[in-house]
Structures are given as structure tokens and as C-alpha cells.
Structure 1
Amino acid sequence: MNQAYGESATVNGEELYLIKQSEFNYDIYVSYYKDGNWAKAIKLNSKINSPKHESSVSISNDGNYLYFSSDRNGGFGGFDIYCSEKINGDWDKPVNMGNTINTTDDEEGPFISKDNKTLFFSSKGHRNIGGMDIFFSSRLEDNTWSKPENAGFPINTTDDDLFFTPFKNCSVVYYSKYDPKGFGRNDIIRTEYAHDVRDPELVRKQKEEKQLNEISFHEEFKTDTFTIQIIALKKPVDIRYFKEIENVIMIWGTDGFYRYITGNFLTLEEAEKNINTIISDGYSDAFIRSFSSLRKISK
């Protein structure tokens, strides 16, 4: 199995899927663990391997779904991500994951979560900081996938960030990134991943506010102004990251979070007219809050 890369093992540790260079391209192989040794890697069937390149692979926790990237004919452009289901012991014809996941640029490095509900991958085509950024998408109830969200800084940089592999419920991740101060062109990075957060007290308050009628809600805030909180992070990012949103301001909170906000609206209705655009840009955690609530937690 020398000169192989992009490995992905089944949860029982008995199957190892990997990428190997064939005569003219790169293909997906599998090796089985038997009697304390790994058997010679076997090339997967022609439904999986095309005359073009298969560049990375991820096997689902139950061993029944294979996610991989390929620049085969019939895609949206560059490398696309495909999924194949194992039927009667062999891999069926792969299905392109569609234009929600794939773009006219490259999508590579898929990794499917243990529950088969979250797909991590790298993309040049989705809105990014630069190079290949890491994104994640959630499986919806109708078996389609949500709009991919950028994993953000510090995971993503202006260079290529690839092969995102989470452990411990995504609190620890390994991935590959270009580092000019590293040991080679691309280094493997281990980091603790700080998820985007919303203030717990404000989440509770929002739930309570939904139960109030519209008149009492407006009465409560009639002397205040509103803003839209885009995101809250444990580590700060360059304001230029929000290149599609104007007039972004960072506020450092006493709780240690960096909050990024935009807008100063006199009425709730005015703020509501603007928040949908921000959410559609991929900031699903964006919400409206009063400036007075920010003043209480600002340093």
C-alpha cells in the first residue's frame, strides 16, 4: 500500500479505502485486514473508478456509503463529490451530489460524519477566504443537503485547506493546510475547533419574545435601536472575511467572544428587512438584537 493516500477506514477497522496512482490516473482501492495483516489493495469496480481521476474518499460509519471526489465527465466542472451505496456487497453507480454541494470549480476531500448527517469538504467554488476552504453541509429530512457553510477562521486561510477530519464530536479536528513556516508544502494540523455560538441568555430571551404579542414586543424596545449579529467567535477574524456584508463592526465581549454586527436600525421592521439577505449568504446563526443588550456585555 505504499504511495497511497487519502485513506478512510471503516469503524470496525477491517476495511481501508485509499487512493493509488494507476497507469494514467488515480483510482480508489480497498484493502481488507485479515489474520493480523492488510491484504493487497484491490481496485474498486468501474462504476466507481472512471478514466479520469478519483482524488479522495470517505466511507460512512456503517460501511454502506462511499463519498469521493472525481473529475469524471458529466459533472458541474473540475472535481465534484459523488456518493455510492453498497448494494448486495458491491458499490452501485455513484450519484453526483448536485449543485448545492458542487460548483463549476473544485470540490475535494469529503468526510462524512459518524451519523451520516454532516458532510465536510473543501471547495474553491463556494464563497471563501481564498484557495480551497473547508465547508460543511447537513443532511435534511427529505434527504437533500443544506447550503454549505464556511468553517471560518482560523480553520480556513487564504491558501488551500483540505481533508478536514473531526474527532470527539468535532471538538478536535485534523486537517491539511499550507504553512510557509511548516515542515513542507502542506502540514497536518491538529486544533480544537471553536464552533460559532449565540449568547445563551439571548437565545432564551428570543424564545420568550416569540410568545409575546407584537404590540408588547415593540413597546419593550421602543426607545432602543437594533443591529444584526452576524456571528460570534472565540477567535477573531479579519473584517475582510465578511466581504459580501457592508459596515461590519467587531465587538469584544466580557464573556470572551468576538461578535460581528452590522447595521443600526431604528425599528425592528427595518432590521427584519435586512437579516434575510445575511442568512441567505450562509450565516444561519444571524439574529436581531438590541444595542442595549450589546452594551451590557461589551468591554
Structure 2
Amino acid sequence: MKLAFLVDPLPKLKVTKDSSIAMMRAAQARGHEIWTCQREGLCWEEGAVWLSAQLIALTDGGAGAWYEVVSEARVRADQFDALLMRQDPPFDFEYLTATWLLERAEAQGARVWNRPRAIRDHSEKLSILEFPQFTPATMVARDPERIHAFIDALGDVILKPLDGMGGSQIFRVHREDHNRYVIVETLTHHGHRTIMAQEYLPQIRDGDKRVLVIAGQVMPYALARIPKPGETRGNLAAGGRGVAVPLTEAEREVAEALAPILWQRGLLIVGLDLIGGRLTEINVTSPTCMVEIAAQTGFSAAERVIEALERLAAG
């Protein structure tokens, strides 16, 4: 297969933990061509979507030496067997524009995963609202009075912006917290930005679990991201410690319920976040944790992605 990965600039990817690189390695090991491009290389011209792409060969080197550029070319999007959209957030207007362009590419025969419309329709924070039976108590609002009423009612909550990643700007707020008003003012921009408030789940001590779902199949291991001492956030980017663990019965129940729905919508790679068996986020832009799980268990979710792409290309 001829595969294209739309990713952040290659020198910025962390070779020791990046799931996109893990997928590239798995694909190369199976004899497939690996092309990469960045969002700025997308364009509509001559009635088609084109990519300014690089054919690369992955090496055993670290840091900036993990790949070699074999050649560069301007390639129509539909000339690839699959194009994987793996751009990290923020989900800004440029990200939105990329989904529109890739949707045009799909109309011309390109196979894009995750599907652009599915990415666009699934806010990583708000998409959980479709499945309230699996979530903690949740409020989405920008009115500070409503948010404070939610804090008063529950006593201990998590506040977070709708466009963050890696634990950025996530606050735990108690009913008696003397900083609660300035935190709400800051996050909502004095009532001009909508945020999410969720019931605080003490099971975070056991980890914020990342459960991977590939082509509608639930992977057998989760990565429990355990907060460091004095922290509420388990995100690895915030200093959390990743421990691969088998799924619990409650986690599998949630994942198995969502898996066929998300796959039917064109979401090939999904990262469900669960705390205490409760669903807190559905990650669809560039879900991670494949490297850590493989290192600790020997199970390669990256290989499952490439196997799924092979089946799709054959079909």
C-alpha cells in the first residue's frame, strides 16, 4: 500500500512515544510505502486536492534521526491507498479547513481516516454527551452563575476548556475553594467562552484510562495514566505515569457499546478516556498511548491499525 500520514512537522514528533511513528514502523515492516505531509501542504488546485508529500524510510535512530527523506513530490490525495489524518489539536479554523479539503478528496475517491466529517462532528469533549448513561455528572455552559451552582451542588468538580489537550487548563475546584471565582472567570473569559464541568472522580488515583478502539474492535489493554503526587491530572504531558493494564469489566462494557457506533461513522482510531469506568472524553484527532502499551505488554495496536487498512484496501 501507499500510505500518507498527515502529521505535525516530523522534527517535532517524539520518536520514543509517538503513535503515528509506531504506525509508520508497523506499515514499513509489512512492506508499505510511507509518505508524510503537513497541513500547510494541502491544497485544492486543478479541480483536485493535492498534497506536498515526502516519501520517507524509517531508521533505528532517535530524536531527529528516526527517518530519511527518500523523495518529495506533489501527489493527488486519491493516489494513496489511505491517508491518515493525525494532526494534533488545537481544533482551530485551519484544522476545520483541512477537514473540508479532505472531504473533497474523499468525494474524488480518497480513503481518509479518521473520516473528515467524523472528526469534525465529534468534539473530543462534547461527544460524550451522546452517551450520558456512561458519563459522570456533566455540565456544559458559559454562564458563571450556572457553573457555580454546579460546583455548589456537587462540591468537588473538574473544570476544563473545550479545545484543550494534554491536560492544559484543567482545574479541580472545591465548593470552599477561595480561588473558584477567578478560575471560572478565567476559563469562561468572564462568561464569553463555553467550558465543561464534571463531577470529580476519586478513582483518578487508579489512573485516567486510555482505551483504544481500532476499526470497531476494542483493544485488550488500556494505559492507566496515574497522576504524580500533588496532581489531579493523569495526562502524560502533565507528568502522569503510564501503566498498561487489562480492561476492567466496566471499561469493556462502555467500549464495546461505543465501538460499533463510532466505526460506522468512519472513526478508525479512537481513544476513549475513562475514570472509574466512567466516560470522560472521546479522542478522535490523534489518539496516542500505542507505544507505551506495546512496550509494557507486547501488544501492538499500531499493527492492528495497519491490518485494518490492508483489509479496507483489499475490500
TM range (shorter): under 0.3
TM-score by length of 2: 0.27
Report the TM-score, using the length of structure 1 for normalisation: 0.28
Instruction: Mark the structure with the bigger radius of gyration.
Output: 1
Q: Which has the higher contact order (CA 8 A, sep 6+)?
A: 2
- Which structure is higher in strand share? 1
